[in-house]
Each structure stands twice: as structure tokens, then as C-alpha cells.
Structure 1
Amino acid sequence: MSSPTPPSSQLSNSFTTLINNYKTTTGARIKLIDTFLLFLLLSGVLQMAYRIVVTSYPYNAFLGGFGATAGQFVLLAGLRAQVSPGRDSEFKLVSQERAFADFCAASVVLHVFAYNFLG
């Protein structure tokens, strides 16, 4: 009988396989979107940490900045879903160019609202 592999080793192997598959099968466009998603996530976490640790004054500035970060994350996640390979079953009528144009227009509207909210 062979001894079972420890769970930490299995987790490490799974993570390594995931990273290798991501690097080989994911296109450059999707990797760029994923990098921006990671940046937005870290930016939101830092804004929330600053609000908790230091201060929330002025509160409307925090809400505007955090809302813009969260909104941009949601819009970008939607764009990623629309331009990912294998998307044809859900987004038959939307081309990748149209999806990007919609993303840009929605981003402008989001940032106009965030700017106006700052006061």
C-alpha cells in the first residue's frame, strides 16, 4: 500500500497545474483584463483599510472613490465575460468590439457620477 499524499502537497500540485494551464491557454487580452481586475481589487482593499485604520473623513470622498473602484471592477468583469473564448453561447449578438465600446461608455458614465459625488 502506498501512503496517501499529504493535503498540502495536493494543494500545491493543483495550484501549480492551475497556474501552468492559465499561462498556456489564456490569451494576452484576457491576461491584461485579469491584471487590471487584480489592481482594482487591491485598490479597493487599500481604500477600505485606509478608511478603517486612519479616517473616513471626508466620507463622501471615500464613498465616491470606493464606489468607482467597485463599479469599475464589475464593468471589467462583465467585459471579461463577453470577450472570453467560448462566449458565443451567451453573447451571440454582441461582438467583441461592441462589448468594448459598451464598457468604455459605461466607464465614462460611472466616473462622471463618482466625480460629481465627491462634492
Structure 2
Amino acid sequence: MAPKKPARVDNKAASPARSVSSGTATPVPKQTQPAKGEGASWSAVLRNLQQHYVQETPQRTKLTDVFLVFLFCNGVVQFLYCVLAGNFPFNAFLAGFGATVGQFVLTISLRIQTTESNKGNFTEVSAERAFADYVVCSLILHFFCVNFIN
């Protein structure tokens, strides 16, 4: 059995611009951090992400994403109202917040099942079947939330 080599060899004699990797005898230059003006800035990255989203995402998925943003904002407003104004009818707050969170989760599930890149994971489920499941589960969720209000 061959002796084990150390995972990292510290070579203090090496120059600061070079480092020695643990299995080779040739020095490897260190990668330096780009200067402040070099490389992609955050605005360029976000612009590229936004352009890719607009060009590559189907209209149905964009509509689902807009509804998800609405549900998220609705949940934030409900939570802020509970913190700032109080939660006197606590059952009403819980039912409303639960409906918002539950609908958000169901919508995420619908988005995952209907996205083109996930078709391989959901071969038995068509887009129509996923939407029918979404509607039925939403009705059940809202039935429980309305009954929880009293």
C-alpha cells in the first residue's frame, strides 16, 4: 500500500504569487481578484438575468410568477398589519395568513409541475391535470380557512 500524501503542502519558500498544488511538482499561479472596474457588475448581472427571464420564460409561467409576487406581498401586508395594528380576531388573522401561505405553496407546486424543464420529472401529470389538482386543492384550502374564521 502506498503511503498517504498530505492533502496540502505548505511551501513557505514559494513566492507569494505562486502556490504549489498537492500532487504536482510544477508551480501553479494564484488567481488574483479582479480590480474594482473589471468583471461583471451587479447591475449587468441583474440586467442579464432579467433579459433571459423575459426572453426564455413562457407567458403562462410569467403569469404564475406575478400571482406569486401578489401572494407574497399580501402575506407581508397581513403580517405587518398584525404586528402594527394588532390581531384582535386572531382566528381571522390565522385563516387569512394561512390561506395566503397555503395558496403560495399550491401555486409553487403548480409552477413546478407545469414548467417545461421539469417535464421529465412529471411524466404522468399533464398541465391540465396539474391545474385541475391545483383548483381542487385551492377549494379545499379555502373551505378550511373560511370554516376556521367562525
State the TM-score, normalizing by the size of structure 1.
0.93
Work out whether 1:5 is the aligned partner of 2:41. no
Structure showing greater radius of gyration is 2
Matches within 5 A, 1:46-65: 46-65=77-96
Q: Give CA-to-partner distance per residue, 1:61-107, whole Å, 9 cap, x none.
A: 00000000000000000000000011122101100000000000000
Q: Could you list the runs of 5+ residues in structure 2 that have no partner in the other structure?
A: 1-33
Work out whether 1:40 is the aligned partner of 2:71. yes
Q: Could you list the runs of 5+ residues in structure 1 that have no partner in the other structure?
A: none
Deviation at 1:6, TM superposition (A): 6.8
Computed over aligned residues only, the root mean square deviation of the Cα atoms, in angstroms, reads 1.6
Higher percent of residues as helix: 1
Opposite residue 59 of structure 1, the aligned amino acid is F
Cα separation, 2, equivalents of 1:26 and 1:94: 20
Secondary structure of 1:5's counterpart equals: coil
The ranges of structure 1 where at least 4 consecutive aligned residues each deviate by more than 3 angstroms after the TM superposition are none
Work out whether 1:69 is the aligned partner of 2:108. no
Deviation at 1:4, TM superposition (A): 3.8
Taking only the aligned residue pairs, the percentage that are identical comes to 42
State the TM-score, normalizing by the size of structure 2.
0.74
